[in-house]
Chain A
Amino acid sequence: MNMAQALNDALKSEMRKNGDIVVIGEDVARLGGVFRITDKLLDEFGADRVLDTPLSEAGIIGSAIGMSLYGLRPVAEIQFSDFVYPAFDQIVNELAKYRYRSGGQFSCPIVVRMPSGGGVKGGLCHSQSPESYFVHTAGLKVVMPSNPIDAKGLLIAALREQDPVVFFEPKSIYRTEKSDVSEGDYTVALGTARTVREGSEVTIVTYGAMVPLALRTAGRAASENISVEVVDVRTLLPLDIDHIVASVHKTNRVIVLHEAPRTCGYGAELAAEILERAFWSLDAPIVRVTGFDTPFPYALEDEYMPTESRLLQAIRAITRD
């Protein structure tokens, strides 16, 4: 099963169990979403639970908030994370703060799903990685899976949360990564990182579509006798910092890796958290391998994105005595 199928399977499985879950978004019903993540949900669950909306992201999130106050559990799809900004106000000022500002009288258990990231020749506005904006907003949990097994388990866990979850789906690996995904229902707890490759000389801390890239690069580094550990954070908030710190204590070197632009990117937060907790274990400065502080380019996409060669150079440099 690939990640797109695993996400679809998670939605089906949880919608069968929980009649309060409704799917809401643009083209999610008859079309099954432009990436087909909601494929055939309309057939099984009907038009009262799979809701096409007009083209209005603020309308999608705003009305999902109202539905959640009534007792429903909306799963809102934003067609591309690049189009979330009209709903940014609704997410940041309304969704994230509704529990807090009502003194806990209300909560909005909404999952906001968004395909994100580059690598699909989508240009400026079909390629962005806006996760940091949301991690910076109190009241949201932020998740990004890197493989089909985690995708299903994290999405089911998100659907059982009492708080809003922003769920980023790295679209470039929707169909490239395949795994044996269990048929039944299972969860991957939010706030748990995973070591996806053991190593001893440097830890790459990353998430989403950069995980398979890190694994491929770690394989190449191994052929140069450099031992690389790869940690997939899986949820950006809450962050499983203890897991990362344990890895740093072992390898004493860290590369943080993401597609999003460098300045104020999530890597900056990772680096700060690691420095506060494991400064004296470090043998070298933390290195960030990231997208550049430019808009996401169309023709030069491959140059913008972190690549195996850029990452390998960083690995070589940080492990050179």
Chain B
Amino acid sequence: MKKILAIAWKDAIIRFASSSELLFFIILPVFFTFLLAGGTPSGDEDPRIRLLVVDEAQTTISEQIIGELEKSTAVRPEVVTRGEAMDQFDQRRASAVFIIPAGVDVESLQSGSAEVEMLQQPNNLNATIAERAVLTAIRRVSSAVSAAQNAVRQREAKQPFATEAEKQAYFESSLELAQNIQADSPQRVTVIEGATSDAIEYDPRANSSAGQLITWVFIPLFGISALFAYERQQGTLRRLLTTPSRKATFLLGTISGQVAMALIQMLLLVGFGIWVMKLNWGHEPLALFIILLTSALAAAAFGTLMGTFVKTEGQATGLSIMFGMVMALMGGCWYPLELFPTAIQNAVKILPTTWAMQGMLDLVLRGKGLADILPEAGVLLGFAVVFFSAGVWRFRYE
């Protein structure tokens, strides 16, 4: 046991010998979590997509459309001049521009000749969302008009109007009526987020916090392989093994030291999630600890396995960043797994990152408890055992 501690302590000293290690330990993870969460630490800013609106009509209709857009949960209209809008759009600073040209008024709506315009950046999800929001807004405005038109037709079918003025008056009163009915419409859809005790909505920040935590803890743990390569190059590994210590003692010492450091790192990142990003990390401390520990063990064991085949420190560093990033991406740590084709979603179950992510999301996003994360923890532990045994078996000292 003493030996294991001695080995772990030596590794900590070697690792933090260069201060740039801190960069990977805490600075980069926090930075990435922050950026992937959308650049807002606690979601105080308006998360809606900015939509540039050019209002050249300046009529009640255009005002109504903008009014509807302001009510949207998806976009945040910002009225600007055409020149300004085109400028921003051309520089790709705006994903979409909505233009209401001069001449959009009640009359043009009645005659069906009203036309509005929209510019969208290609393949831009935000632009697509903005388009939906605009469609909804103009639909609401125009549906009142068409309801009024419909009312005029119904009335005409029963009793023709005496004068054109009477017809227009009927139209206007119907329009007002339609708008009133519309305004009083009840909410007919309710959205409930699955299995969260407190009604928090899906939060990209939770996803980002958990995903980045995994990414940045896994990369240095894969880097255990670099530690082995370093010791092999220095010849200290050979020397260590001439001392009366078993291979497994050495490997366990190395791994437990790194896992301990990883736990510290994870706690710092979880702390960042709780205090800065106001995420629900802390409601089941024991379950959280178990999933963090098993994730770290699986990653460390994989690093050990890598250590058996890498030759140089440089090789190990490169490979651990590569494996770390690819596994994180494919394991759903950066983007929700649902975006992948079904076949891939099944295939990535062979990655430890997939299970770690699922376990953490169960806790931070679904508000589940200890019993629910045990399967994931079990799988992660299984990974650890398999990788570790393979590592011990293939282990070389030079």
Chains A and B are bound partners: no
